Amino acid sequence: MKFLKSTMILASLVAVTAPALAQGDVITARRDGLKGVARHMEGIKAVVDQRGDPRGTGMAIADMIRFFEGFPARFPAGSGSGETRALPTIWTDRAGFEAANGNMVTQLRALQTAANAGDQTAFGAAFQQTGATCGACHRPYRGPAR
Ligand code: HEC
């Protein structure tokens, strides 16, 4: 019991100090994740452009859904400075940021539905809408490249 207690105290200490020490890692990890998202989108665009079978894109879409479900948590307080394009509005308008992210997840689910249906026309339209949904978050919450 005593051992359990000290382990718990240790675990909570790690939880408290880790973010303060590792903001650079948090930024690097979220940027790497976003580069992965961009690669998925390029792969899907090729399928749309070539009018390929959208059913082959299911894994990439599922991967993006997983990523965006955990996306807001990748912006802890204090991770807005350093090697990042994250704008302060992410923290001053957190509700708006989370709403933009929620729209992303919803839109990706719509893309997934169109992919599963194997309907090229619906898939192409959903893909366009998906790109627009990325932009709808970038405009207010992402700064210029630097
Ligand atoms: C809810 C907001 C939000 C959504 C939705 C979103 N992004 Fe972003 N994106 C950001 C923010 C904020 C940054 C800046 C991150 C940083 O620099 O720390 C960013 C950065 C990026 C980067 C630059 C990564 C780098 O550092 O090189 C790429 C690429 C990118 N996003 C692609 C996308 C694509 C593609 C989508 C849609 C499928 C998307 N994003 C959707 C907020 C969003």
**CATH class held by domain 23-141:** mainly alpha
- Verify whether ligand 1 is closer than 6 Å to residue 127 (CB atom): no
Q: Where do the domains of the chain lie?
A: 23-141
Poorest-pLDDT segment among 12-26, 30-44, 71-85: 12-26
Residue 6: what pLDDT?
Answer: 54
Tell me how far CA of residue 8 lies from CA of 4, 19, 20, 21, 33, in angstroms.
6, 18, 20, 20, 31
Q: What is the pLDDT of residues 134-143, one digit of tens each?
A: 999 999 999 9
Tell me how far CA of residue 22 lies from CA of 29, 36, 49, 77, 79, in angstroms.
11, 21, 41, 12, 9
- CA gap 87, 66 in Å, rounded: 23
Structure tokens, 97: 């940021």
pTM (2 decimals)? Answer: 0.88
* Mean pLDDT value across residues 62-83: 96
Spacing of C-alpha 35 from chain mean position: 10
- C-alpha of residue 42 to centroid of ligand 1, in Å: 14
User: Which run of H or E residues covers position 4?
Assistant: helix 2-21
- CA gap 79, 115 in Å, rounded: 35
83 CA closest ligand 1 atom index: 17
Q: What is the pLDDT of residues 109-137, one digit of tens each?
A: 999 999 999 999 999 999 999 999 999 99
- Verify whether ligand 1 is closer than 6 Å to residue 137 (CB atom): yes
Concatenated DSSP letters of 51-113? T--GGGGHHHHHHHHHHHHTSGGG--TTTTSSS--B-THHHHTHHHHHHHHHHHHHHHHHHHH
